[in-house]
């Protein structure tokens, strides 16, 4: 009986001691492997945030030494007047784009979402036209609610609407309507245009609202 009584008293003292240690903050914390870290934007190096629209590459997000190597998903969203809905698709039109990324969980590291990687700035580059006809062309910054992408093939220039959900396209060259299209692009030939300043404007509907976009360019012959 004495042995049982002593054992009971020891258990009671141990329980009270443990309670007091916990109350005073002296209880042992979790072991080294019990707590994951959470990535932050400063854990990563970023690249390809300044580009021209004739040579586009994805923004790079690389972990610094000792930081989470979890897979990253990168998002782009128009900012500063650039219209581009948040997407994992790399934009190609001149403009500014906020870049964010998510990091998946890996051993020792939690997942993280919405980390800011800075701003992708795409500027309009000079594009040579058809060398046989000695035509050159340069583009200005696009404007309007619709973002236009351009590409060249010899003396042909193709203008394409960026984004989805648009209908009822109407294309204008220098304020003169070319033709109405159900497609989101138009191709023009520089040989059929005079030297000097020009502009292509598109009108289209999205969600019941008529929107427009314009891209100005200059032809040198």
Query: In degrees to the nearest 10, what's the CA dihedral of 166, 172, 178, 184?
Result: -20
* Tokens, residue 54: 């004739």
Position 67 scores a pLDDT of: 97
Percent of the chain clearing pLDDT 70 (strictly above): 73
CATH number corresponding to 126-220: 2.60.40.10
Structure tokens at 129: 């036209």
**Which of the four pLDDT bands, split at 50, 70 and 90, describes residue 136?**
low
**pLDDT tens digits, 142-187:** 677 787 778 878 778 888 888 888 888 888 888 777 665 668 888 8
pLDDT recorded at residue 103: 97
pLDDT in the model for residue 24:
40
Work out the number of other CB atoms within 10 angstroms of the CB of residue 160.
17
Q: What is the pTM of this model?
A: 0.49
**What residue segments make up the domains of the chain, in order of their start?**
41-123, 126-220
**Residue-wise pLDDT tens digits, 26-67:** 434 344 555 899 999 999 999 999 887 767 889 999 999 999
DSSP string covering 84-124: --SBSSPP-SSEEEEEEEEE--BTTB--EEEEEEEEEEEEP
């Amino acid at each position: 009986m004495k042995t049982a009584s002593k054992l009971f008293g020891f258990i009671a003292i141990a329980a009270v001691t443990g309670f007091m240690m916990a109350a005073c903050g002296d209880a042992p914390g979790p072991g080294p492997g019990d707590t994951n870290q959470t990535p932050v934007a400063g854990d990563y190096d970023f690249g390809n945030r300044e580009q021209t629209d004739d040579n586009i590459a994805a923004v790079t997000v690389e972990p610094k030494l000792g930081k989470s190597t979890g897979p990253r998903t990168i998002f782009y969203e128009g900012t500063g007047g650039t219209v581009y809905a948040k997407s994992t698709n790399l934009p190609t039109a001149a403009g500014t784009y906020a870049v964010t990324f998510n990091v998946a969980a890996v051993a020792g590291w939690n997942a993280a979402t919405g980390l800011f990687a800075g701003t992708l700035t795409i500027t309009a580059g000079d594009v040579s036209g058809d060398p046989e006809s000695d035509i050159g062309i340069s583009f200005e910054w696009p404007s309007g609610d619709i973002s236009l992408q351009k590409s060249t093939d010899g003396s042909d220039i193709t203008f394409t609407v960026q984004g989805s959900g648009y209908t009822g396209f109407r294309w204008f060259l220098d304020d003169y309507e070319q033709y109405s299209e159900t497609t989101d692009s138009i191709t023009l030939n520089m040989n059929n245009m005079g030297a000097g300043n020009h502009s292509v404007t598109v009108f289209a509907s999205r969600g019941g609202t008529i929107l427009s976009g314009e891209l100005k360019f200059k032809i040198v012959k």
